[in-house]
Amino acid sequence: MRPPPVRAVPPPTRRVGPRPPGRLPPARVGNRPAGRDGWAHGTAPPAAPPRSAPRPAPAAAAHTGVRVQAQRPLAPARAPSRCAHPPPSSRLRSSRGTPLAPAERLPTTGGARGHNGTRGVGTVPAGPAPATGGARTRSEQSPWASHHAPPAKAGPAPVRPSVPRHRTTVPYPYPLPLPPGGTPVTARSAGKTSRSVRKAPALDPGDRARLLAGEHHDPHGVLGAHPVKGGVVIRVLRPWAKEVAVLTKGKRLAMDDDGDGLFSVFVPLLRKVPAYELRVRYDGDEMPVHDPYRFLPSLGDLDLHLIGEGRHEELWTALGAHPMTHEGVEGTRFAVWAPNARGVRVTGDFTHWDGTALPMRSLGSTGVWELFVPGIGEGAVYKYDIARPDGSHTLRADPMARRTECPPNTASIVTASHHAWEDAEWMERRGARPPHEAPISVYEVHLPSWRPGLTYRELAEQLPAYVRDLGFTHVELMPVTEHPFGGSWGYQVTGFYAPTARMGTPDDFKFLVDALHRAGIGVLMDWVPAHFPKDDWALAEFDGRPLYEHEDPRRSHHPDWGTLEFDYGRKEVRNFLVANAVYWCQEFHIDGLRVDAVASMLYLDYSREHGEWVPNEFGGRENLDAVRFLQEMNATVYRRCPGVITFAEESTAWDGVTRATDQVGPGGFGGLGFGMKWNMGWMHDSLEYMQKEPVHRKYHHHEMTFSMVYAYSENYILPISHDEVVHGKRSLVSKMPGDWWQQRANHRAYLGFMWAHPGKQLLYMGQEFAQGGEWSVDHGPDWWLLDPAYGAEADHRGVRDLVRDLNTVYAATPSLWERDTVPEGFQWVVGDAADDNVFAFLRYDGFGSPLLAVCNFSPVVRHDYRLGVPEEFAAWTEVLNTDAARYGGSDVVGTDPVKTESVPWHGRSASVRMTLPPLATVWLRPA
């Protein structure tokens, strides 16, 4: 017997305020689409009973969550299921506040099915359903109906459908309205986090294992939010978390703990992935966080294309750690090149050095791994946890880190620059004159030991003033890139993109460069692309296999320094180094790069015995990959950074070091493209001569003249560098023979010869005041020698005064620098006076104005010494004499002009007679 028909009476409804956000398209009522209020078009909403009236008891069908279809017989009873068929409105929630999936039509037979095909919870006897006349059951009404329904309208009450007398089992209570703050609560669990009716599908065991092992190439395909049938699954990885909840569309959903730090939740009734946040509780308070796995890649296709081509000239803007705002959220993008890795995770102080939570995704064939981590900003300390091909893990510093921890700590630090440059005037005019036609006098500095203990900013207060007072045009900084061992002086680099943290931050270093520029001083920097150390936290076998180094040990292991050589044949490695050169010039306004150990790069057999090296493809010993790299580096730097100079420390006779890359030389190679080359031959020969006792120098006279045989083969700079004053080689003044007076006199005379010789000049710190001891990386120059309380202070101050005057006269005399690289700028007066230890030569500027330099390297005064000179000048006057008393000399100086006489001498039609001071150099120019 059928039960009597019962009318479905809706509960009291009243709508106040706006409709909740995130609503899906309107549901259908019967065969008619619902209107904006959820009611069928043309059908008025039911009138609400008066507030004083008791709430009518709902019919059983109102609790089933099943939309009653008109003229459709109900199915016979079936066994209960965990999930009832959901209501049509996107505003309906389960007992835990979870939105429910869209309604489906009931099957002709069988119990009501949920969105996953399970049977309905309630038991409904079979029987025909009466027509509803467009009215909807309680299960179809909004959860917020009692607060958001429109005012009641007059009219007949809607017809209640016929329902069975016995009620269905209710799987969730009726949702209550949102409290202030937007967190939904339910009648059963008011004020508590809601839970989804349906559990998220289990994670694939293979994905789970690879994810937890740090070997998943696409964690974003597993973690984060993903559409599934009937809704969206959100899965997060939060090791050590006690609870995790999701906030989306104003709802808070508790996530199920799946073990091993994995949490998941199924959100039904969503057709696309919503915006959401996480609430994570560990042992303490709950923390609001964004899920790193809900973001699209923050690295663009163009960046990836250029990286894949090995032509990303601003590589530092793509790889490394970059604070940024991505999709409206602040955080940091981490990106690293590790093509051989099975997986990469980022870890740091923000994960308590547990990398499990932040696996990175692989971006295709480029070998780049990327992850945007919300909430991480400047100052965060990090490394990469890399799964090697053999499954083992290694913790590595970022090769592209732009800031590092201070050694001996080795981690990388997230950073962004905030320095405002004030050197626009310098940058605009630094390239106005070609460098080989400009005055260049370089003071070489090891920053950590120049004034030990000073920071970059403190050095900015002292170094520019000191260098400017001595008249140097440039400083050359020994490597400022990060290095773990201070005793390497910076030449074993682990942080190619980071200034050493020993003296401050990258912005502090920029401040120092800025201060030098404002003082009118150019900044050169030693750059070391020849090799890198084997530290297991740096570049060596970075991702488990040879990556930055050559895979052949005969090409990768440097026999002299115990380091590894770069694989210049690999395009990504070339890109890493070329972009690094551009980085220092572009980001730090460096005016020149002195490339270290070029010879070791150019020759495959450098410091290797027979059988220890592999010939190139033509059977030669030239490293063709290194040649191409150096050409590309120079061409790129000169193209991108106008006014920059590159210097090669190259100690062999390689042809075309400073020749243009498109000009092929006799050896079949194009030029390397450097701006200048260190004249190592001049340095070795001249120092060899100066170390001899004067009585023996006549047998080595050619060592001072041989440099002019090849002086114009390259653009040269004459270096007295750090390499010549350490490791038992003694300081410059200590190399000189004789007593203390003669040593200083030789020292002064040699500097006068050096400044007058064709080529630019470089002098290492401490040699400008004749420091007697070798340079020590621990305590730097012996500044106490210039203390007025020291008895011999005048001797050292005199040499420093000479250096100041050498630079002053040099800068004001174009004949000393304007034609350094062409034969027209130099003429010998006498180069064969070996018995006298005398050298004399003329230097010319572009207009033919000369300067006469005369060097007497014997300890005797030579009176009435005749020298041939151009006849067109009637007299010559001294402009500098290294024997002057103010420099500590014997003061044999010429106070009056020397007149030209019509006496042929040295192949010239005129000559002068002058007195040559002992162990001294004299400069004269036309009176």
What positions carry a catalytic annotation?
A: 596, 649
Angle at 722 between CA 600 and CA 621, to 5 degrees: 10
How far is Cα 611 from Cα 232, in angstroms, rounded to an integer? 64
Angle at 843 between CA 841 and CA 845, to 5 degrees: 170
Q: What is residue 905's DSSP assignment?
A: B
Within 10 angstroms of residue 837's Cβ, the number of other Cβ atoms is: 25
| Residues linked to residue 22 through DSSP beta bridges, in sequence order | none
Instruction: Put residue 631 in one of left, alpha, beta given phi > 0 → left and psi -120 to 50 → alpha.
Output: alpha
What are the CA-CA distances from residue 145 to residues 45, 68, 604 (Å)? 11, 19, 82
Structure-derived torsion over alpha carbons of residues 412, 417, 419, 421, reported in degrees to the nearest 10? 110
Q: Which amino acid is at 459?
A: L
How far is Cα 126 from Cα 123, in angstroms, rounded to an integer? 9
Place of tokens 């190619």: 496
Which token pair is 572? 């990504």
**Residue 310, Cβ density class (10 Å: 0-12 exposed, 13-18 middle, ≥19 buried):** middle
Which token pair is 268? 């039904």
How far is Cα 422 from Cα 510, in angstroms, rounded to an integer? 10
| Residues linked to residue 29 through DSSP beta bridges, in sequence order | 32
What are the CA-CA distances from residue 613 to residues 551, 554, 675 (Å)? 13, 5, 30
How far is Cα 757 from Cα 51, in angstroms, rounded to an integer? 107
How far is Cα 423 from Cα 520, in angstroms, rounded to an integer? 9
Burial 643-661 (b: 16+ CB within 10 A, else e): bbbbbbbbbeebebbbbeb
Place of tokens 């109900």: 74
Q: Give the residue from 579, 518, 569, 79 showing the smallest Cα distance to 318.
A: 579
DSSP letters along 671-738, please? ----SEEE-HHHHHHHHHHHTS-GGGGGGGTHHHHGGGGSTTSS-EEEEE-GGGSSTTS--HHHHS-S
Q: Please tell me whether the peptide bond between 45 and the residue prior to it is cis, using omega within 30 degrees of 0.
A: no
- For 243, the 3-state DSSP assignment is strand
Burial 271-292 (b: 16+ CB within 10 A, else e): eebbebbbbbeeeeeeeebbbb
Could you give phi then psi for residue 917, rounded to 5 degrees? -70, 160
Check if the beta carbon of residue 730 is closer than 8 Å to that of residue 779: no
Which token pair is 600? 């070791």
Chain centroid offset of residue 586 CA: 13
Residue 870, CB half-sphere, CA atoms under 13 Å: how many? 18
Check if the beta carbon of residue 370 is closer than 8 Å to that of residue 299: yes
Strands 262-268 and 276-281: unpaired
Check if the beta carbon of residue 270 is closer than 8 Å to that of residue 243: no
Q: Give the residue from 163, 160, 167 showing the smallest Cα distance to 4.
A: 163
